[in-house]
Amino acid sequence: MGRTRASTSASTPQRVEFPYLKDAAGHYAPIVYLQVWTGNRWLYLQAYVDSGASWTIFHADVAQLLGINLSTLKRRYMSLGNGSRIPIFLQRVRVRFAGTEFTALAGFSDALKVGFNLLGRAGFFDRFMMCFNDRTRILTAIPVRRSVRSHQH
C-alpha cells in the first residue's frame, strides 16, 4: 500500500513510495493501491498510474460495489491512445491515496478492456507530484501544496 518515508520538517510534504507491482503479463508497472469509500467501508483497489489518461477510470463492476447506479449518470466519451472512444460515466468519489483523503472525479466503464483500473491526471496529478522511476521500479507521490498565486508589482 506504499512505503511512507517520514518528513524531515513540518513544512516538507510527506512523500509516499509505491514499489512497482507485476501486471498480468509479469512486467513491473506503476500499479498502486488506493481506497474508495462505499458509504459504509473503504474498498481497496489497484490502479495503473497513467500520466496519459485524463481521467481515473474504474471498471463498471466497481460502481456496483460503491452503490453507484450508472444509468442515472450522464454518459460521456473518452478517447484512448489507439484512437478509439469508450463510454464513461463520471461521478465524484471519496478516495484515500498516499495517506491523503479527498474527493475526486472518476469515470466508470464496462468498455475498459485493459484488465485493470486506471489512475489518471484529474483529481490526482493536481494534488500530487508523481515521479516515475522505472530504473528502481518506484513511483513516488509527493503532495503538492495548493496556494494562491501571488502577484508582484
Q: What is the pLDDT of residues 12-47, one digit of tens each?
A: 568 999 999 999 899 999 999 999 999 999 999 999
For residue 105, tell me if it sits in a domain: yes
> Would 130 be classed as within a structural domain?
yes
What are the two backbone dihedrals, phi and then psi, of residue 59, each rounded to the nearest 5 degrees?
-65, 150
Query: Residue type at 86?
Result: I
Mean pLDDT along residues 125-139: 97
Asked if residue 100 is part of any domain, the answer here is yes
The predicted-structure confidence for 36-92, as pLDDT tens digits, reads as follows: 999 999 999 999 999 998 899 999 999 999 999 998 998 999 887 788 888 999 999
Q: How far apart are CA 128 and CA 15, in angstroms?
A: 9
Residue 63 in domain: yes
Residue 82 forms part of a structural domain: yes
* Among 1, 28, 38, 34, CA closest to 123: 34
Q: Report CA torsion sign: 64, 66, 71, 76.
A: negative
Name which residue leads in pLDDT, 93 or 78. 93
> What's the whole-model pTM score?
0.83
What per-residue confidence (pLDDT) applies to 149?
Answer: 54
Q: Three-state DSSP class for 13? A: coil
CA 53 from chain center: how many Å? 10
Q: Is residue 144 part of a domain?
A: no
Q: Is residue 66 part of a domain?
A: yes
| DSSP H or E segment with residue 19 | strand 15-19
Say if CB 2 and CB 33 are below 8 A apart: yes
Confirm whether 58 is domain-assigned: yes
The β-bridge relationship of strands 56-59 and 100-109 is parallel
d(CA 84, CA 100): 34
Total domains, the chain: 1
Q: Look up the CATH number of the domain holding residue 35.
A: 2.40.70.10
What phi and psi, each to the nearest 5 degrees, are found at residue 63?
Answer: -55, -45
Structural domain for 92, as ranges: 31-138
